[in-house]
Amino acid sequence: MFKGYDPGKFYDEMFSADGSVRTQCDPLLDRFSELDEEDFLMRKSNSELYFLRQGITFNVYHDEQGTERIFPFDPVPRVMPSHEWQELEAGLTQRIMALNLFLHDIYHDQQILKDEVIPRFFVENAKHYRPEFRGVDVPGDIYIHICGSDLIRGADGQYFVLEDNGRCPSGASYLLENRNALKRAFPKIFKDMGVRSVDSYPRDLVNMLRHISPYREGEPTCVLLTPGCYNSAYFEHCYLAREMGIDIVEGRDLVVVDNFVYMRTTHGLKRVDVIYRRIDDDFIDPVVFRKDSVLGVPGLMNAYKAGNVGLANAVGTGVADDKVIYYFVPRMIEYYLGQKPILPNVPTYLASEEKDLKFILKNLPELVVKAANESGGYGMLMGPSASKEEIEEFRERIIADPRNYIAQPVISLSRSPTWCDGAMEGRHIDLRPYIIYGSDIKIVPGGLTRVALTKDSLVVNSSQGGGSKDTWVLRD
Amino acid sequence: MLSRVANTFYWMVRYVERADNLARLIDVNQQLLLDSESLDSERLRGFWRPIILSTGDEEVFHSLYDDAESGEVIHFLTDDERNPNSIKSCIGLARENARTVRDQLSDELWEELNSLYLWARSAEATRLLVADPAEYYQRIRRSAVTFLGVAASTTLRNEAWEFMGMGRHLERADKTTRFLDVSSYLPDATEGEENAGPLHWSAILRSCGALGSFRASHREINDNNVVDFLVFSGEFPRSVRYCIEKLDVSLHRISGNPRGTFSNDAERETGRLLADLNFGSSADAFEVGLHGFLDSLQDRFNTIGEAIFDTYVLLPERIDVCPADESPSPSAIALWQMQQQQQQ
């Protein structure tokens, strides 16, 4: 299967630069080599059928047939040795602790701003900063209960944090379903390799939800709030709600009475204690935020401020997703924890700093430029592959609004062998681990490995032609 | 359980049942057509009209088709997605409802419905409908029956189950009366030819899957016996009485109220109807005329359906304590965009 595979000049997850197999992949490669192509393809198409039958699909909109496609899945897993994962785990734990302390701080005393570690201007001008929530206490002082920090690997194999997703990170269901699919397709390989289980995720998630209930007595009622069944992550909402054994609700199922939240049931109103919300701040309460939102629950923010309902994630966490604030995370780690950051950021230039701005404008064709508050691969300039017009367009945008742009050198993401139209080829990947912060911090081993299926592309987002792989963290 | 979810379960099963019954209804008509002499187009129209009427879509039909030849009608009722009550549309709607409550369905149940949906949209299905329609309808019916079987063996006997049961039995009772009503429209069958009778009655029984059980309990196939069996039998699972009995049981399980009493309009209407069926016979039907009798049954089913909706869905939704500022209701596109924006 791997005949003629070329690792290229990149860091390859399976082969060293000299072409030898990395130790952790040895058994995997042996097994795969025993498979002939026909057998491999049969297993691959069985997995795809499994996804289709399970309805793990997304709709291709503006297509009259309403065609549903499966989220592309590559059956060659990414294998990670135990020591590598332990370091990532330590780095991510450190990072989410610092982010939480930062959020608590800026919504209370703002010591970090007073000490001028982060310029006040950046926080107060962050798009998702919610000054109206200053002084509001949240259960357990936890803000980011679920965090999806994207990790990438450079040419020498060094891991970097690319961005933090502290609002409503999605994709955990794909991580779990990829595992199910791969277990079915290659049960023997899986068993022989000693792969760490990911099954605990839904349990960790629901334990976290129970932990943030404002009431200590009795069994709390937790629900998952979804924007509705036409949202492309609806499959995930259903999947997680079912795995956790909690109700999935839409905004119209909830009502606020005297600052308590209730759901409308066939037997009248039933009180809700914790909401795992998959709706952004802007839409969650039309009384406080966007007036035109029909997805939210009028009065929810009052109930939340009164301490009568727990929300995961808390309101106002989006400030930590701002790519300018990202720049300061290593400083937060030093400021709050007195530690050196274990996982470095990608070197970042802030367009609002005069020296950096000059550098950015001079080197646009070599840099990646990102808008501070966009995600999903939008609002981005890939200098080396951009046209002159695109570069000029971004130059103007940056000059007009330097606060909202950052630039980074192009990191040539590591690659993993991926089945592409009849042959194994290297494709660029990243990793999104899911960190849960409740009574303690839990990270499910590995995470969702996203693959840029287009040759040479560095963009792994599903909206831009990305797929995914199972991630195998090995036992010691 | 959530009112919205209860409503979704109810409709999910109703749509599956509707697709199943429609497949049976088309099948019976095609069989009858084979037995009839060749009909001119006007009589052919008269022949298909009750079925189009039974799905309540006569206007839609005439806006889409000039002719009411068998081919057009069959396409309209089977796989025309412009008809919201075609078999294909019903399967799509059932599956859409299922998708909304996917978290509460067993994997097997979801897979059965999803497979049916994927199949109904496949090129294979389109080919089969042309090449071997009987096999096509057979396939739909088999899958619907499997769906119910899987539901019965994997669903908790909780409120969701009762709402599913109500959807199934109300739809089934309604469609059984539609099957019977086909006889009221048959060209010439009622005037003159004496022996046309048993032929169409046996076709109707067969499409209800009732022929075998009918023969076991009745000797002669005639209008009185068939109506007794399909409306008043307490044992045949597609008879109106049986379905209304089940509906009554479900309603009382949900409310916790003892049977024979009522705590809401749905229970009251169902109880009344059940009493009429328990103590009635085919003589009542023929006294007012079969068509009129079936019509009034259908009206009462509708009243019950509305009462269920009022009691369990509408009332809880009317509670609205924290009024939002007045804002214009957003367009469907704006709603869709909002739903899409919610992810990272």
Give the tens place of pLDDT for each residue, A216-263: 778 999 999 999 888 888 889 999 999 999 999 999 999 999 999 999
pLDDT, one tens digit per residue, over B182-240 is 887 766 544 444 455 677 888 889 888 888 899 988 889 999 999 999 999 999 999 99
Do A100 and A109 touch, CB atoms closer than 8 A? no
**What rounded mean pLDDT belongs to chain A?**
92
Q: How many CA atoms lie within 13 A of A59 on its CB side?
A: 17
Do A308 and A289 touch, CB atoms closer than 8 A? no
The pTM (predicted TM-score) of the whole model is: 0.88
Report CB contact under 8 Å: B321, A266.
no
Residue B48 predicted with pLDDT over 90: no
Name the nearest CA neighbour of A437 among A239, A215, A222, A204. A204
> Once rounded to an integer, what is the mean pLDDT over residues A401-429?
93
pLDDT, one tens digit per residue, over A194-210 is 999 999 999 999 999 99
> Once rounded to an integer, what is the mean pLDDT over residues B124-153?
94
- DSSP classification of residue B222: -
Residue A475 touches chain B, beta carbons under 8 Å: no
CA distance B339 to chain A (A): 5
Residue B325 predicted with pLDDT over 70: no
Distance CA A464, CA B287 (A): 69
CA A278 centroid distance within chain: 13
Q: Which helix (H) or strand (E) holds B166?
A: helix B159-185
B323 pLDDT tier (thresholds 50, 70, 90): very low
As a 3-state breakdown, chain A gives helix, strand, coil percent values, each rounded to 5, of 40, 25, 40
Partners of residue B118 in chain A, C-beta under 8 Å: 52-53
> Once rounded to an integer, what is the mean pLDDT over residues A295-302?
94
Instruction: Name the token pair of A52.
Output: 């289709």
What percentage of chain A exceeds 70 in pLDDT? 97
Residue B103 touches chain A, beta carbons under 8 Å: yes
Report CB contact under 8 Å: A292, B330.
yes
CA angle at B78 for the pair B53 and B299, rounded to the nearest 5°:
30
* CA distance between the termini of chain B: 30
Residue B159 predicted with pLDDT over 70: yes
Instruction: Name the token pair of B225.
Output: 């016996």
Do A313 and A142 touch, CB atoms closer than 8 A? no
Residue A73, judged by CB atoms within 10 A of its CB (0-12, 13-18, 19+), counts as buried
Q: Is B56 left (phi over 0), alpha (psi -120 to 50) or beta?
A: left
Name the nearest CA neighbour of B183 among B25, B71, B334. B25
More confident residue, A263 or B60: A263
Partners of residue A302 in chain B, C-beta under 8 Å: 322
pLDDT, one tens digit per residue, over A68-125 is 778 889 999 999 999 999 999 999 999 999 999 999 999 999 999 999 999 999 999 9
pLDDT at residue B117, rounded to an integer: 95
A53 pLDDT tier (thresholds 50, 70, 90): confident
Residue of chain A minimizing CA distance to B159: A266
Residue B279, judged by CB atoms within 10 A of its CB (0-12, 13-18, 19+), counts as exposed
> Once rounded to an integer, what is the mean pLDDT over residues B6-31?
91
B326 pLDDT tier (thresholds 50, 70, 90): very low
| Amino acid residing at B35 | D
pLDDT at residue B191, rounded to an integer: 47
Distance CA A421, CA A414 (A): 21
Report CB contact under 8 Å: B102, A55.
yes
pLDDT at residue A457, rounded to an integer: 87
More confident residue, B31 or B76: B76
Residue A237: strand, helix, or coil: helix
Q: Which of residues 128-157 of A touch B (CB under 8 A)?
A: 148
Q: What are phi and psi of A359, to 5 degrees?
A: -60, -45
pLDDT at residue B19, rounded to an integer: 95
CATH 3.30.1490.270 correct for A349-409: yes
pLDDT, one tens digit per residue, over A259-276 is 999 999 999 899 999 999
CA distance A419 to chain B (A): 26
Question: Looking at chain B, how many residues does it have?
Answer: 344
B313 pLDDT tier (thresholds 50, 70, 90): confident
pLDDT at residue B341, rounded to an integer: 58
Q: How many CB atoms lie under 10 A from the CB of residue A347? A: 11
> Once rounded to an integer, what is the mean pLDDT over residues A31-39?
88
pLDDT at residue B37, rounded to an integer: 63
pLDDT at residue B187, rounded to an integer: 61
pLDDT at residue B328, rounded to an integer: 43
> Once rounded to an integer, what is the mean pLDDT over residues A334-345?
97
pLDDT, one tens digit per residue, over A124-155 is 999 999 999 999 999 889 999 999 999 999 99
Least confident of A292-306, A439-453, B33-47, B304-318: B33-47
Residue of chain B minimizing CA distance to A265: B2
CA distance B126 to chain A (A): 15
Partners of residue A235 in chain B, C-beta under 8 Å: 102
pLDDT at residue B196, rounded to an integer: 55
| Amino acid residing at A415 | R
Distance CA A401, CA A418 (A): 40
Q: Which of residues 43-72 of A touch B (CB under 8 A)?
A: 52-55
Distance CA B197, CA B213 (A): 19
Report CB contact under 8 Å: B99, A55.
yes
CA A282 centroid distance within chain: 19
CA distance A21 to chain B (A): 35
Distance CA A466, CA B271 (A): 57
pLDDT at residue B324, rounded to an integer: 41
Residue B143, judged by CB atoms within 10 A of its CB (0-12, 13-18, 19+), counts as buried
Residue B99 touches chain A, beta carbons under 8 Å: yes
Residue of chain A minimizing CA distance to B117: A53
